[in-house]
Amino acid sequence: MAVIILLTGSTSYAMDTVSDRYVSFALQGELSPAAELFLSVDTETAPLSTLELATRFHLRFELQEEDLSPATGNLFADAVVMAYRRYWTKSLMGAMTSPEADLYLEQSLGEAISEFWPADAPGSSATVFSTVGERLRQQGFHYLDTPAPPFRDLFLWREEEKQRYSVRLTDRTQKVSVTFISDLYSLGWKHFATLGLVSTTGWVDDDRLYCIGWAYDRESENFEVSYLKHEGRHLADFQYFQGLSSTELEYRAKLTELAFASSSQARLLDDFTRKSAATPGSPHGYANYRVTRDLYQELHGRDLPESTNPWLGSTGRKLNLAARELLRRNTEQLMAEP
pLDDT on residue 1: 38
Instruction: Per residue of the chain (338 residues), give pLDDT as tens.
Output: 356 778 777 665 555 689 989 998 998 899 999 999 999 999 999 989 999 999 999 999 999 999 999 999 999 999 999 999 999 999 999 999 989 999 999 999 999 999 998 887 766 667 899 999 999 999 999 999 999 989 999 999 999 999 999 999 999 999 999 999 999 999 999 999 999 999 998 888 877 899 999 999 999 999 999 999 999 999 999 999 988 998 999 999 999 999 999 999 999 998 899 888 888 877 888 999 999 999 999 999 999 998 678 898 888 999 999 999 999 999 999 999 87
H or E stretch at 155: strand 151-168
Q: Are the C-beta atoms of 195 and 53 separated by less than 8 Å? A: yes
Sign of CA dihedral 279, 282, 288, 290: positive
- Rounded Cα distance between 189 and 210, Å, is 17
The model's pLDDT over 244-264, given as tens digits with 9 standing for 90+, comes to 998 999 999 999 999 999 999
Q: Are the C-beta atoms of 228 and 220 separated by less than 8 Å? A: no
pLDDT on residue 26: 94
Q: Are the C-beta atoms of 254 and 221 separated by less than 8 Å? A: no
Whose CA is closest to 143, among 127, 162, 160, 118? Answer: 160
Whose CA is closest to 319, among 273, 261, 271? Answer: 261
- What is residue 29's DSSP assignment? T
pLDDT on residue 24: 86
Angle at 229 between CA 224 and CA 233, to 5 degrees: 170
CA atoms in the 13 A half-sphere facing the CB of 120: 18
Q: Are the C-beta atoms of 153 and 87 separated by less than 8 Å? A: no
pLDDT on residue 312: 84
- Rounded Cα distance between 15 and 49, Å, is 9
- Rounded Cα distance between 52 and 55, Å, is 5
pLDDT on residue 118: 87
Please list the residues that pair with 64 across neighbouring strands. Answer: none
- Rounded Cα distance between 196 and 23, Å, is 10
Q: Enumerate residues 6+ apart whose C-beta is below 8 A from 159.
A: 181, 182, 183
What is the CA 119 to chain-centroid distance, rounded?
Answer: 36
- Compute CA distances 319 → 75, 292, 295, 311, 322, whole Å: 51, 11, 8, 10, 5
- Rounded Cα distance between 308 and 269, Å, is 13
Q: Are the C-beta atoms of 22 and 34 separated by less than 8 Å? A: yes
